[in-house]
């Protein structure tokens, strides 16, 4: 009978020990960057695309690039709840993210900051969703933005050459 | 008067239903009832429960009845029971709805203690319990609800795993009056389930036995199901992978019984994507749950039926939602401890079947990732009692119950929460219920339930303020919310005849401050998610249900049931409440031989056009199915094979309570098989 007592105690102890590990979250909660709209500017600070509270502004040029070519730099700005333009967060926690509908048609070239280049891969139409990435998730995102990739051009005939982009970056200081 | 065997079974159950704790005492009406129907084989000295509760036990899903209905989830398995609907978000995230009430109105317990998960808080959270490991599923109705919950307007789903093998210990332990004593030294079971509608399998294998006064149990289960097939094609990211392990032990020492069990459950399932605001590829959710349960029973020498039980459950629940393989969208860690003390008294004065008890509960919840609810501790305490009496009027039984308690919420500061919203909240809660069951003629019962229902707001309803990616919503709580309360009644008639048994019921609850997340029509433009705001509104919920079945145990069998519920907010237009299931009907015709049962069935739901603001209407549907079962015993083992075909004509079924109904059909044609052996 003593053996059974001992066995019972041992089994109960084992069962109790099985639940001994701690249980806590491995990720932290973070403040998030909330915006109500997005505006995309060309390298010359012409408005290419704008959306506020889900409504896209019509009669804007939109996003275009030729296949085989890279677009000029596109600046990203945000609109707050009062439709006032604000810059993206200036910290190490947030960065620009994107999701391309058809990766065979379009790619994105990003060199840091709140801007990017379109890179046409194949003639056609696709969609682009831009995001404000914050650690592992997105704080904000655009609706699907239509992107047109026009016919392919030889590299030397592309409207934008890479060194031009750098010139524009240095020349233009957006005051909005 | 001649009586069918099934009828006798029902009556025996009615009279003998209290055997679980060895009690049985004085229910003169049970004897009279039995004699009325010509059954003189049962000698009932005393009862621990009313006739009505005994009859309700006949409606529990267990053994062959459970095998016949087993499916992917608990909700799917009980979906054709009276007043039951399913709130879902994919095949894994399915939770039962009772009388149109969901969330915290419906409590789920495992082996008598809370099922520690977060399935009540959000439609994308699955119930952390593997249905194939359930030995019994019971929907608690009436005053008995108050033994587990304040929400008498809803109900309790009781899942029994029997993880602490007291039943085996009893056969070697202290004396008992129970007739349900088993001399079996080792009991084992293995069950396998497979289906085509969501190709994959589920399996469970378990065994229990005893060595002198020590009883042991062990069980393993696994489920692996791929994407669900709908009439529109395969629905991506709906796969389910579950695993569970359970061990338990019970030990008898003189007039004491001690038991412990440990159950771990792990699930990895998908929520489909491609909806407005949702991740294109959906969300993957991993959850794990660990339950440690310790239970002690004391059986007094003078009256071993008058047990005192103490149960402690330590629960750890962890839940992670992945937007992609590496991106954590949301994370929850819940630690909960619950102590429950319950005294059962078979009879005292005019009362019988008395349960008196109390519960104390501490819960801590932490959030991570993209969750906008502050970490919060909560403390809850409650006292409850249920007692029945009779003798005032011939054939009248009365059950009275009450639950009194409170809950304290202590949110902690958090970077994500609105500073003004981090406010301590305290709620005092009370609920009562009374049930009057009158035998109006032999085998005929008229029952009236009246109750006060209540519930405290949840942490999420109070403090949440942000997007919930897996649910594709932006959710706003309200830290100023008051507790929900309401007054209701249910009138039921039951008729147990020679050829058919039928029952019909109507119910109504007037809610004061009914708490529910309602679509506001606004959008959070940062995430492009629809905004849901928790609001408290006065509301009226009404409904009816009826069921009928033949009483024969062999030969022709037919069964049908229907449920309807409607709800209105008190405003100028008496606008419709959201998430109310439409009229639902289920019927079956079968032929039963000694070892074989073959049947065909149909299920239909009418279109739901009574919808809340910004809620979508849902079309109706009709489906047809068939089943073929074999049950036989051979050399101390019992075998079952259940073949079932559901939705055979591949109908496009839309569940009104599915968050994904606008883009997702329910399961299409599905052929399933359950093979089970018990020894």
pLDDT of B328: 81
Two structure tokens written together for A107? 């790619």
What's the Rg (C-alpha) of chain A? 25
Residues 6+ apart with CB under 8 A from A84: none
Of the residues B279, B319, B526, B531, the best mutation for testing chain A's interface (the one with the most A CB atoms within 10 Å of its CB) is B526
Checking if the pLDDT of B21 tops 80, the result is no
Longest dimension (CA), chain A: 94
CA distance A136 to A109: 20
Q: What is the dihedral of CA A158, A161, A162, A164, to 10 degrees?
A: -140
Distance from CA of B275 to the nearest CA of A (A): 12
Checking if the pLDDT of B39 tops 50, the result is no
- Tell me which residue range forms the domain holding B131: 5-267+280-678
Is the alpha carbon torsion for B59, B61, B62, B68 positive or negative?
positive
For residue B314, list chain A residues with Cβ-Cβ distance below 8 A: 19
- As to burial, measured by CB atoms within 10 angstroms (0-12 exposed, 13-18 middle, 19+ buried), residue B580 is buried
pLDDT of B80: 93
Q: Do B262 and A35 touch (CB under 8 A)?
A: no
CA distance B161 to B145: 20
Is residue B328 domain-resident?
A: yes
Whose structure tokens read 């909330």? A34
Nearest-Cα residue of chain B relative to residue A28 = B368
CA distance B312 to B340: 6
Centre a 10 Å sphere on the Cβ of residue B485 and count the other Cβ atoms it contains: 19
Whose structure tokens read 């907010």? B569
pLDDT of B656: 95
Distance from CA of B328 to the nearest CA of A (A): 6
CA distance B581 to A49: 43
Is some CB atom of chain B closer than 8 A to the CB atom of A82?
no
Distance from CA of B385 to the nearest CA of A (A): 30
Instruction: Summarize the confidence of residues B379-407 as an average pLDDT.
Output: 93
Is some CB atom of chain B closer than 8 A to the CB atom of A35?
yes
For residue A26, list chain B residues with Cβ-Cβ distance below 8 A: 328, 331, 368
The answer to whether the beta carbons of residues B224 and B200 sit under 8 Å apart is: yes
Parallel, antiparallel, or unpaired for β B106-110 and B155-160? parallel
A137 or B293: whose pLDDT is higher? B293
Nearest to B370 among A15, A137, A143 (CB): A137
Domains and CATH numbers, chain A: 33-164 (2.60.40.1080)
Checking if the pLDDT of B374 tops 80, the result is yes
Nearest to A141 among B371, B523, B528 (CB): B528
Task: Kindly report, residue by residue over B607-653, the tens digit of the pLDDT.
Answer: 999 998 778 899 999 999 999 999 999 888 999 999 999 999 999 99
Is residue B491 domain-resident?
A: yes
Task: Kindly report, residue by residue over A137-162, the tens digit of the pLDDT.
Answer: 788 999 999 999 998 888 788 877 66
The answer to whether the beta carbons of residues B59 and B494 sit under 8 Å apart is: no
Is residue B175 domain-resident?
A: yes
CATH of the domain at B368: 2.40.170.20
For residue B413, list chain A residues with Cβ-Cβ distance below 8 A: none
Instruction: Summarize the confidence of residues B56-64 as an average pLDDT.
Output: 87
For residue B329, list chain A residues with Cβ-Cβ distance below 8 A: 136-137
Assessment of whether the complete model's pTM goes beyond 0.95 = no
Task: Kindly report, residue by residue over B69-117, the tens digit of the pLDDT.
Answer: 999 999 999 999 999 999 998 899 999 999 999 999 999 999 999 999 9
Q: Do A27 and B328 touch (CB under 8 A)?
A: yes
CA distance B172 to B149: 34
pLDDT of B15: 43
pLDDT of B173: 42
Going by pLDDT thresholds of 50, 70 and 90, the confidence category of residue B274 is low
Is some CB atom of chain B closer than 8 A to the CB atom of A130?
no
CA distance B7 to B34: 10
Kindly state the percentage of chain A with pLDDT values over 90: 49
Nearest to B292 among A16, A36, A53 (CB): A16
Distance from CA of B248 to the nearest CA of A (A): 8
Is some CB atom of chain B closer than 8 A to the CB atom of A170?
no
Instruction: Summarize the confidence of residues B358-377 as an average pLDDT.
Output: 92
Q: What is the DSSP string of B115-165?
A: --SSTTT-TTPPPSS-GGG-SEEEEE-GGGGGGT-S-TTSEEEEEE---S-
Nearest-Cα residue of chain A relative to residue B414 = A29
For residue B290, list chain A residues with Cβ-Cβ distance below 8 A: 18-19, 23
CA distance A137 to B327: 6
Ramachandran category for residue B244: left, alpha or beta (phi over 0 → left; psi -120 to 50 → alpha) = beta
Q: Do A11 and B249 touch (CB under 8 A)?
A: yes
pLDDT of B139: 94
CA distance A49 to B360: 58
Nearest to A137 among B251, B317, B323 (CB): B323
Distance from CA of A175 to the nearest CA of B (A): 24
| DSSP 8-state class, residue A155 | G
Is residue B124 domain-resident?
A: yes
Structural domain count, chain B: 1
Instruction: Summarize the confidence of residues B14-39 as an average pLDDT.
Output: 36
Is residue B377 domain-resident?
A: yes
């Amino acid at each position: 009978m003593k053996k059974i007592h001992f066995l019972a105690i041992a089994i109960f102890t084992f069962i109790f020990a099985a639940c001994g590990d701690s249980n806590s979250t491995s990720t932290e909660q973070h403040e998030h960057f909330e915006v109500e709209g997005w505006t995309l500017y060309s390298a010359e600070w012409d408005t290419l695309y704008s959306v506020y509270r889900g409504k896209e502004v019509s009669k804007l040029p939109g996003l275009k690039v030729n296949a085989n070519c890279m677009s000029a730099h596109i600046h990203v700005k945000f609109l707050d709840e009062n439709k006032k333009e604000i810059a993206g967060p200036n910290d190490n926690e947030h960065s620009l993210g994107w999701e391309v509908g058809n990766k065979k048609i379009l790619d994105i070239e990003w060199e840091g900051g709140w801007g990017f280049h379109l890179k046409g891969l194949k003639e056609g139409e696709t969609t682009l969703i831009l995001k404000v990435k914050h650690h592992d998730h997105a704080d904000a995102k655009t609706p699907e933005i239509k992107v047109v990739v026009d016919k392919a051009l030889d590299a030397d005939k592309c409207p934008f050459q890479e060194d031009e982009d750098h010139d524009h970056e240095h020349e233009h200081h957006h005051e909005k | 008067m001649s009586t069918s065997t099934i009828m006798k079974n029902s009556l025996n159950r009615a009279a003998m239903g209290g055997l679980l704790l060895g009690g049985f005492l004085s229910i003169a009406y049970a004897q009279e009832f039995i004699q009325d129907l010509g059954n003189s084989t049962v000698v009932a000295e005393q009862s621990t429960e009313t006739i009505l509760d005994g009859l309700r036990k006949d409606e529990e899903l267990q053994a062959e009845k459970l095998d016949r209905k087993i499916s992917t989830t608990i909700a799917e398995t009980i979906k054709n029971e009276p007043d039951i609907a399913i709130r879902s978000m994919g095949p894994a995230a399915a939770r039962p709805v009772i009388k149109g009430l969901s969330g915290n109105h419906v409590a789920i317990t495992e082996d008598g203690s809370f099922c520690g998960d977060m399935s009540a808080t959000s439609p994308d959270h699955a119930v952390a319990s593997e249905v194939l490991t359930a030995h019994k599923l019971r929907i608690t109705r009436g005053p008995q609800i108050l033994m587990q919950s304040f929400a008498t307007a809803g109900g309790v789903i009781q899942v029994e795993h029997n993880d602490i093998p007291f039943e085996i210990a009893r056969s070697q332990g202290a004396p008992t009056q129970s007739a349900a004593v088993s001399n079996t030294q080792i009991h084992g079971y293995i069950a396998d389930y497979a289906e085509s509608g969501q190709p994959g399998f589920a399996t469970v294998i378990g065994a229990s036995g005893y060595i002198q006064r020590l009883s042991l149990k062990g069980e393993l289960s696994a489920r692996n199901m791929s994407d669900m097939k709908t009439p529109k094609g395969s629905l991506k990211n709906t796969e389910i992978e579950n695993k569970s392990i359970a061990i338990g032990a019970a030990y008898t020492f003189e007039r004491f019984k001690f038991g412990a069990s440990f159950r771990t459950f792990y699930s990895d399932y998908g929520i489909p994507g491609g909806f407005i605001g949702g991740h294109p590829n959906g969300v993957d959710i991993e959850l794990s749950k660990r339950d440690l349960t310790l239970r002690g029973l004391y059986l007094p020498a003078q009256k071993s039926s008058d047990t005192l039980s103490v149960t402690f459950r330590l629960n750890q629940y962890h839940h992670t939602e992945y937007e992609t393989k590496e991106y954590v969208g949301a994370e929850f860690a819940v630690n909960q401890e619950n102590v429950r003390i319950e005294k059962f008294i078979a009879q005292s004065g005019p009362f019988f079947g008395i349960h008196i008890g109390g519960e104390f509960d501490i819960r801590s919840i932490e959030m991570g990732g993209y969750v906008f609810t502050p970490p919060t501790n909560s403390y809850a305490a409650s006292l409850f009692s249920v007692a029945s009496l009779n003798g005032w009027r011939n054939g009248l039984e009365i059950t009275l119950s009450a639950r009194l308690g409170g809950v304290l919420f202590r949110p902690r500061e958090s970077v994500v929460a609105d500073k003004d919203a981090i406010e301590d909240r305290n709620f005092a809660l009370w609920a009562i219920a009374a049930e009057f069951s009158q035998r109006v003629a032999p085998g005929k019962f008229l029952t009236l339930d009246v109750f006060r229902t209540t519930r405290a707001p949840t942490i999420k309803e109070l403090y949440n303020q942000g997007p919930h990616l897996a649910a594709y919503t932006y959710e706003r709580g309200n830290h100023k919310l008051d507790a929900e309360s309401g007054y209701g009644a249910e009138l039921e008639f039951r008729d147990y005849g020679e050829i058919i048994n039928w029952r019909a019921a109507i119910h109504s609850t007037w809610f004061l401050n009914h708490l529910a997340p309602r679509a506001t029509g606004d959008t959070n433009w940062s995430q492009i998610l629809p905004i849901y705001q928790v609001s408290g509104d006065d509301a009226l919920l009404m409904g009816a249900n009826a069921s009928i079945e033949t009483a024969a145990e062999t030969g022709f069998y037919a069964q049908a049931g229907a449920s309807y519920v409607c709800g209105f907010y008190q405003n100028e237009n008496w606008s419709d409440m959201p998430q109310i299931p439409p009229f639902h009907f289920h019927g079956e015709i079968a032929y039963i031989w000694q070892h074989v049962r073959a049947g065909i069935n149909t299920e239909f739901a009418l279109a739901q056009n009574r919808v809340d603001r910004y809620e979508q209407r849902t079309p109706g549907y009709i489906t047809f199915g068939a089943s073929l079962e074999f049950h036989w015993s051979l050399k101390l083992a019992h075998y079952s094979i259940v073949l079932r075909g559901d939705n055979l004509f591949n109908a496009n079924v839309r569940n009104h309570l599915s968050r994904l109904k606008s883009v997702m059909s329910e399961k299409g044609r599905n052929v399933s098989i359950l093979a089970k052996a018990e020894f």
